[in-house]
Amino acid sequence: MNTQYWINHYEANTRLNDTMKLPAAPCVLPEAIRAPIARSLAVFQLGESGGGTRLKRYAKVIAPLAQFTGYQRAIDLFVAEEQSHAALLGRLIGHLKQPLLHKQWTNSIFRWARNLVNLEFNIQILLTAELVAEVYFGLLYLRCADPAVKQVSHKLLRDEMKHLEFQRQFLAERLQEFSPALRRLWCLQFRLIHRFVAGVVSLDHRDCLQAIEVSPAAFRSRCTQSLERFMDRLESKISASDAQTATKAVLTTT
Ligand SMILES: [Fe+2]
Ligand SMILES: [Fe+2]
């Protein structure tokens, strides 16, 4: 895994969130549109505001492996970028005249579920949440008329797309060590977790989705498409790595 690329990326990118200027004009969305979008964004803001303690602990375990040199630093910067998302969303929620949340039921469920099995499972739940966030911010960017919501959603969409690439590179390295049967099992359970997360988000945020004229079913369908794109790219990356390993093995035996 090219961890140096990610260290450079996060070091350059995160500060853009901290220094981003939001449009000065007040929000003029009708109340029936503003309130559900603002409440929904407050839930995402809470989800982004974790300290990443378990993720950092996991990185500490993985970092000594040869292919993950520098991973711990990359994870520290990744967590800092998620915290910059929380701060940016906090400013956007202020613009929408909505109070921040300190506790919320889906956020509590995700935090509980992330600790159910082990640290690697924790990363999977985080990754499914990022896949869903990519769809959510993409839709807000396209369908919400408020310029500040558009601007922040666009930036978060781009950041989450990079996060997905970061996670994909990591997972490709991990899954390469699995047997084909174990990989299939992993993909199956990952799809199930994703379906659960997308289902919960589509119900919990249905008022916001309604405000931007997206049905919960259409949202889940977009989430499934996004998941399949992710899985296709993951599988191609693993196949390419398998082919490289096989070539290396042939070259060393000849
Ligand atoms: Fe984020
Ligand atoms: Fe993310």
Between the CA of 56 and the centroid of ligand 1 the distance, in Å, is 16
* Centroid of ligand 1 to alpha carbon of 127 (angstroms): 10
Confidence of residue 254 (pLDDT cuts 50, 70, 90): low
Please give the distance, rounded to the nearest whole angstrom, from the Cα atom of residue 159 to the centre of ligand 2. 7
Decide if 164 contacts 133 (C-beta within 8 A).
no
Nearest ligand atom owner, CA of 167: 2
Least confident of 69-78, 103-112, 237-246: 237-246
Which residues sit with Cβ closer than 5 angstroms to ligand 2, an ion? 130, 160, 163
Ligand nearest to the CA of 163: 2
User: Per-residue DSSP letters for 11-68?
Assistant: HHHHHHHHHPPPPSSPP---HHHHHHHHHHHHHHHHHHT---HHHHHHHHHHTTSGGG
Which DSSP string corresponds to 127-186?
HHHHHHHHHHHHHHHHH---HHHHHHHHHHHHHHHHHHHHHHHHHHHHHHTS-HHHHHHH
Q: What tokens were used for 149?
A: 């919501």
Q: What is the CA(129)–ligand 2 centre distance, in A?
A: 8
Whether residue 105 lies inside any domain: the answer is yes
- pLDDT for 33 beyond 90: yes
* CA of 82, nearest ligand number: 1
- Is residue 23 included in any domain, yes or no? no
Whether 22 is covered by a domain: the verdict is no
User: Phi, psi (5° rounding) for residue 145?
Assistant: -80, -15
Confidence tier at 161 by pLDDT (50, 70, 90): very high
Mean pLDDT, range 65-83, rounded to an integer: 89
Q: How many domains does the chain have?
A: 1
In a domain, 32, yes or no: yes
Distance, in Å, from the CA atom of 71 to the CA atom of 74, rounded to the nearest integer, reads 5
User: What domain range includes position 177?
Assistant: 3-17+28-253
For the record, the structure tokens of 53 come out as 């303690």
Does residue 128 form part of some domain? Answer: yes
Q: How many angstroms is it from 40 CA to the middle of ligand 1?
A: 15
Residue 204's domain is classified under what CATH number? 1.20.1260
Name the pTM for this structure.
Answer: 0.90
**What's the pLDDT at 214?**
98
pLDDT band at residue 90 using 50, 70 and 90 as cut-offs: very high
